[in-house]
Amino acid sequence: MELKNKVAIVTGASSGIGTAFAHKLIEKGATVYGLARRLNKLKEIQSKLGEHFIPVQMDVTKHKDLEEWVKEQFSEDHLPDILVNNAGLAKFGNVDDLSVEDWDTMVNTNLNGIFYLTRLIVPLMKENQDHCHIINIASVAGLLGNPQISGYNATKFGVRGFSEALFKELRYDKIKVSAMFPGSIATDFFDKVGSETHSNMMQPGDVADTLIHLLETPDNFLINEVTMRPLNPKNPDSKA
């Protein structure tokens, strides 16, 4: 896909890799609708990236709000080409300590949110004469289960299943579907789970370069899954 003048939707655009995706897409000449709950953060990003970044205050767990926005925003004259389902979060803890509320927050954001938006965008992509691409951001936690992250694992394994089914369902409609499975990336994700980033984590810009590569492949060439990790994942400052 040639990215110039393409219309992209990126969820979770207010920080981390979502912001980096928006940045790289705009550098390539695309217009990006950046969705997230914190409008102030989105506006700060627009002041840096310019008018091709369009801030959209949105909670991806609210399917009625998504329906209204998609209906208002898009029509047969203005169709989306790219959807990056990136909004997500983690709540860690032993299964007997994990609250129902935290479980529901993860499922509603990481899994239901992807379904709510994808089901609305797919009909528009089917109308689009050009090839389109949906990229779902899973995690290595979508490939490997581990202690204390069972809820997060469950959502990201779900993203993998959803992505694989959709890639097979939509390939004949000229819609590519890919899932990305990153290891640790230096973003606010870790602050939110009470942990810290370090210099051996991957950088958001490098992960975004991989997203751009997936998008720019020739039309009849699909990378449906990509796993990426820091080569040496150990914190260089750790005494352990």
Ligand X SMILES: NC(=O)c1ccc[n+]([C@@H]2O[C@H](COP(=O)([O-])OP(=O)(O)OC[C@H]3O[C@@H](n4cnc5c(N)ncnc54)[C@H](OP(=O)(O)O)[C@@H]3O)[C@@H](O)[C@H]2O)c1
Catalog residues that contact ligand X under the rule CB under 6 A. Answer: 11-18, 35-38, 41, 58-61, 86-89, 109, 137, 139, 182, 184-185, 187-189, 192
Q: How far is the CB of 154 from ligand X (least distance, A)?
A: 13
Looking at beta carbons only, is 162 or 189 nearer to ligand X? 189
Query: 188 phi and psi, to 5 degrees?
Result: -65, -15
CA-to-CA separations, 231 to 87, 125, 165, 183, in angstroms, rounded: 25, 37, 30, 10
Q: Give the dihedral sign, CA 211/193/66/118.
A: positive
Q: How far is the CB of 110 from ligand X (least distance, A)?
A: 6
Q: How far is the CB of 126 from ligand X (least distance, A)?
A: 25
Neighbouring C-beta atoms of residue 50, cutoff 10 Å: 9
Q: How far is the CB of 82 from ligand X (least distance, A)?
A: 16
Encode burial over 119-156: b for 16+ CB neighbours within 10 A, e otherwise. Answer: ebbbebbeebeeebbbbbbbbebbeeeeeebbbbbbbb
Out of 33, 116, 152, 172, the active site residue is: 152
Neighbouring C-beta atoms of residue 11, cutoff 10 Å: 26
Residue 152 known to be catalytic: yes
Q: Tell me the C-alpha distance between 224 and 210, whole Å.
A: 13
Looking at beta carbons only, is 5 or 40 nearer to ligand X? 40
Q: Which residues are catalytic?
A: 152
